[in-house]
Structure 1
Amino acid sequence: MNPRYYRPEVLETIARNVISKYDGSLLTVPAPIPVETIMEMVYGLKIEFQFIRNNGRVLGETVFEDATVPIYEREGGEGYKLMRVRAGTVIIDASLINNRLDGRFRYTCAHELAHFVLHKEIYTESGETAAMTNVVRSSEADNTIEWQADRLGSYFLMPKGLVKMAFYRNHGNRNIIDSLADVFGVSHKAMEIRLNEMRLID
């Protein structure tokens, strides 16, 4: 099944609606969006930490149906093992477990939530999982799916209205990217990309 096309403006609206389902007041004050809590409380997703691959290239996987997935076992003889996982489980690479406030952890959660919101019908009954990976996907459909998850994930963490509000409050700050990255709990790079996309910086 080919992914549905979403314009960026539609993805912005989806992000606002998802956040509002949990707590609309989050869209009034610039602060880190509790994406992990939204995943658990609004969508009933369960976050589990495992080493997904031996090379660290896959940071997250969303399991849409009960499935058996390969997990990398670091203790007791390194190698892959198969693990039974329930539908609605988001597996986050265990390398991120000690950095739950870190931008990479939050971005991985947001990316996987985006897959769940946008792509459930694509992966349901396909026996596949959606994965956030550092490897470029080979098929055009996969690239579209990953682009959508990246975009919506960034909109969950950095809602447009809040970014504008925080930007103008900090206008003139020479370290504005770092300041806003701290406000929203994201990486410098993620904030720089968002500000560029919104044409607030060039």
Structure 2
Amino acid sequence: MREYNSRVMDSIAQRELLEFDSTLVNGDPRAVPIEEMIELHYGIILQYRNLSKKGHILGITVFEDSIIPVYDDESKRYEPIVAKAGTILVDQRLLASHCYNRLRFTLAHELAHYILHSEYYLKTQSLASKMSSHSDMKREKEADALGASILMPQGRIKVAMKRFGNQLERKELIYQMASIFNVSIQAMEIRLQRLGL
């Protein structure tokens, strides 16, 4: 299995962002339009469904035509749907306005699976949604790392830090940075720590 360190993840994110819209790497710091990137650049189908009864599954990346059980609120049971290869299913509860940052991170996480793990999931004929082994947990961490690198590109983070760095206290700086990139305060805090900023 290929090893991905943080430098490699930032490099992959930069390459993918440059191919989609170079201003996300070279322009003013701003939020990455992750839904547009998924649908327009990759041609991935986005569908919003209740993926589980209690909302513990946030996203599923479908690598080959599959039948996926989704939870139907009306009938109070799981119903099968057909999902085509190249589909990302996202739990529709994330469409609530208070879940916006979680939605964006889930989309980036699932896109990261598509970028990094397509070959593995096609070979094993499984979905990128459930963790059952150490290697699955490793792939989930990799998808989190690349998702963060896509939503918060290293170079744009550094540019934004230079703008605010000395003017704001740490807490306010993290809040402002999270606002610029449309991510949660927690996600920004972790990203800055991992970048040593």
Q: Does the alignment reach a TM-score above 0.5?
A: yes
Letter in 2 for 1:173: L
Q: Report the RMSD for the aligned CA atoms in angstroms.
A: 1.5
Letter in 1 for 2:6: P
Alignment partner of 1:83: what SS?
strand
Identity of aligned residues (%): 37
Please, which moves more after superposition, 114-123 or 165-174? Answer: 165-174
Letter in 1 for 2:24: L
Looking at structure 2, the residues matched to 104 and 198 of structure 1 have their Cα atoms a distance apart, in angstroms, of 21
Match of 1:141 among 124, 135, 138: 135
Deviation of 1:126 after TM superposition, in Å, equals 2.9
1:142-199 CA deviation, whole Å, 9 max, x = no partner? 1110110000000000000100110110113120111000000000000000011111
- C-alpha contact (below 8 Å) 1:60/1:112 kept by paired residues: yes
Alignment partner of 2:61: what SS?
strand
User: Which residue matches 2:150?
Assistant: 156
Looking at structure 2, the residues matched to 101 and 31 of structure 1 have their Cα atoms a distance apart, in angstroms, of 19
Alignment partner of 1:123: what SS?
helix
**What's the TM-score once normalised by structure 1's chain length?**
0.91
Q: Gaps spanning 5+ residues in structure 2: where?
A: none
Deviation of 1:114 after TM superposition, in Å, equals 0.1
User: Which residue matches 1:115?
Assistant: 113
Q: Gaps spanning 5+ residues in structure 1: where?
A: none
Looking at structure 2, the residues matched to 124 and 170 of structure 1 have their Cα atoms a distance apart, in angstroms, of 44
Looking at structure 1, the residues matched to 56 and 88 of structure 2 have their Cα atoms a distance apart, in angstroms, of 16
Distance change in 2, residues 1:126/1:99 (3 Å): farther
1:3-55 CA deviation, whole Å, 9 max, x = no partner? 42112111111000111111111212100011111111111101100000111
Alignment partner of 2:139: what SS?
helix
User: Which residue matches 2:30?
Assistant: 31
The structure with the greater share of residues assigned to helix is 2
- Asked if residue 42 in structure 1 is aligned to residue 41 in structure 2, the reply is yes
Looking at structure 1, the residues matched to 124 and 98 of structure 2 have their Cα atoms a distance apart, in angstroms, of 31
Looking at structure 1, the residues matched to 99 and 10 of structure 2 have their Cα atoms a distance apart, in angstroms, of 23
User: Which residue matches 1:98?
Assistant: 96
- Asked if residue 173 in structure 1 is aligned to residue 150 in structure 2, the reply is no
**What is the aligned residue count?**
193
- C-alpha contact (below 8 Å) 1:72/1:81 kept by paired residues: yes
Looking at structure 1, the residues matched to 137 and 158 of structure 2 have their Cα atoms a distance apart, in angstroms, of 29
Please, which moves more after superposition, 42-51 or 94-103? Answer: 94-103
